[in-house]
Amino acid sequence: MKLDELSTITGATIRQIRFLISEGFVPSPEGGRTYATYGDAHVEAIRRFQRLKGLGFPNAAIRLLLDAREGVPVPVMDGLTLVIAPDLIGREANMEEIITRTEARLREAFTGNAPKARKRAAG
C-alpha cells in the first residue's frame, strides 16, 4: 500500500507517519523513497505507538518499552505486574481469548488449582 492508504487505515497523518519512521518507531518502507510501499508491519507499528501514546506514555518511555526484551510491564495492583510482549501491543488479536486465558491462569496461580499435567511439568 502507499503512504496515503497507510494514513487512512491508521488514522495517522502523513507527517506523523514520516516522523514515526524517522524516529524508528515504524520500520522504513520497502522500495525506497520514490516507490515506497507499506504493509501489515507498518500498520501494527503505528497502532502500537498510538496505543501506548493513548495510555499517556511520552515518546521516550515508548522507546524504552518497545526496546524491552522481556516485555512491557503493566502494573495491575500492588504485588502483581503483567508483562506483555511489545509486539502484541496494538495488534488486532482475539482479545476475548487472551483475557479468558489470562483470567484462567491467574485463577490457577492464586488458588493452586493448576491442571495435573502442568503440576507434573513444574514438579
The CATH class of the 3-69 domain is mainly alpha
C-alpha cell at 56: 499517556
pLDDT tens-digit profile of 53-84?
A: 988 889 998 888 888 777 778 788 888 888 88
Mean pLDDT value across residues 107-116:
76
Mean pLDDT value across residues 103-123:
70
Mean pLDDT value across residues 33-49:
91
Q: Is 80 helix (H, G, I), strand (E, B) or coil?
A: strand
**Element of type H or E holding 101:** helix 95-111
What is the sign, positive or negative, of the torsion defined by CA atoms of 27, 31, 37, 39? negative
pLDDT of residue 47: 92
| Sequence spans of domains, the chain | 3-69
pLDDT of residue 17: 97
Indicate whether 114 pLDDT > 80: no
